């Protein structure tokens, strides 16, 4: 579906990602993890075609993404931002209908068919009751659900989520990821940039860890989500145990195990923190 081949990219003259190579197959649900500034959001921007690579290539369905029109890309790839951020008061239904833009032509007038698709997306995300409310007047969790409805209304093969649940409470996080998992089961390819390690381990079958602009780890959750790997990537002591219900690996953070406290850290941890060249 998406093939990234030794891609280097960044903003202005600042290089953010260096020689990143990865491929996402149809029907995958991938979590992208890594410390702040490791290039997670930049990777999503490159994947949605907004940030042309300096070197290497990003291909969608075998074709270089730089050759696609914005409309063509938007028919294949949808994105959910971290927050809604509308400068003007729009009704939630109108925001969801914006997802139909790439499928309309001419003056951008949506037809009854587009309204049906938008309403179905709102039903799926349990946001139908918000249709008439203004997007800037609903709660953060509700607004995020509306943004996901918009991405669903876009009817794409791929949905990219950029820390879409980072600012939400636990119930909303679980509700959104349950829905995403269901959509994934129905065939959607999902790529989720996440901060919440445990949420990623609960829902994603494959994890990609970025560190300092490179892919540090890429593989099945069971293989990558280990105490040693996590401690190395995040430079703080992290232990892993099993989830009591699902059996997924879950991370536990250890007080005093941060990089600043490395001098007093136990031998095993300080070894993994060291940046071996």
Q: For residue 132, what are its two tokens?
A: 């008439």
For another protein, the closer of residues 105 and 260 by Cβ is 105
Report in angstroms how near the CB of residue 257 gets to another protein at its nearest: 31
Report in angstroms how near the CB of residue 9 gets to another protein at its nearest: 15
Q: Of 219, 222, 217, which Cα lies nearest the Cα of 242? A: 222
Q: Of 10, 16, 28, which Cα lies nearest the Cα of 218? A: 28
Report in angstroms how near the CB of residue 75 gets to another protein at its nearest: 7
d(CA 47, CA 148): 18
For another protein, the closer of residues 14 and 275 by Cβ is 14
Q: Of 165, 256, 239, which Cα lies nearest the Cα of 203? A: 165
Binding site for another protein (CB under 8 A): 12, 45, 48-50, 69-71, 73-75, 77-79, 81, 84-91, 93-95, 98-99, 101-102, 104, 107-109, 115-116, 119-120, 123-126, 128-129, 131-132, 134, 150, 154, 171, 174-175, 178-179, 182, 245-246
Report in angstroms how near the CB of residue 53 gets to another protein at its nearest: 16
Q: Provide long-range contacts, Cβ within 8 A and 24+ apart, for 105-114.
A: 114/153
For another protein, the closer of residues 120 and 270 by Cβ is 120
d(CA 21, CA 34): 16
For another protein, the closer of residues 19 and 178 by Cβ is 178
Residue 84 contacts residue 95 (beta carbons within 8 Å): yes
């Amino acid at each position: 579906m998406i093939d990234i081949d030794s891609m280097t990219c960044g903003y202005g003259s600042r290089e953010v990602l260096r020689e990143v190579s990865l491929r996402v197959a149809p029907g995958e649900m991938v979590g992208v993890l890594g410390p702040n500034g490791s290039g997670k959001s930049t990777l999503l921007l490159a994947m949605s075609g907004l940030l042309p690579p300096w070197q290497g290539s990003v291909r969608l369905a075998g074709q270089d993404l730089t050759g696609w029109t914005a409309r063509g890309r938007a028919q294949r790839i949808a994105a959910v931002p971290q927050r809604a951020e509308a400068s003007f008061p729009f009704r939630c239904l109108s925001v969801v209908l914006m997802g139909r833009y790439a499928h309309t032509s001419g003056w951008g007038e949506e037809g009854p068919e587009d309204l049906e698709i938008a309403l179905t997306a709102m039903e799926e995300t349990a946001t139908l009751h918000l249709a008439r409310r203004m997007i800037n007047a609903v709660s953060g969790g509700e607004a995020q659900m509306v943004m996901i409805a918009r991405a669903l209304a876009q009817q794409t093969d791929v949905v990219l989520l950029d820390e879409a649940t980072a600012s939400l409470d636990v119930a909303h996080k679980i509700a959104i990821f349950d829905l995403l998992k269901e959509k994934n089961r129905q065939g959607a390819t999902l790529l989720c940039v996440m901060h919440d390690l445990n949420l990623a381990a609960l829902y994603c079958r494959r994890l990609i860890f970025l560190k300092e602009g490179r892919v540090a780890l890429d593989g099945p959750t069971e293989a990558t989500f280990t105490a040693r790997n996590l401690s190395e990537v995040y430079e703080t002591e992290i232990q892993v145990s099993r989830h009591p219900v699902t059996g997924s690996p879950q991370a536990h953070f250890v007080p005093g195990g941060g990089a600043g406290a490395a001098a007093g850290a136990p031998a095993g941890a300080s070894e993994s923190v060291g940046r071996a060249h």
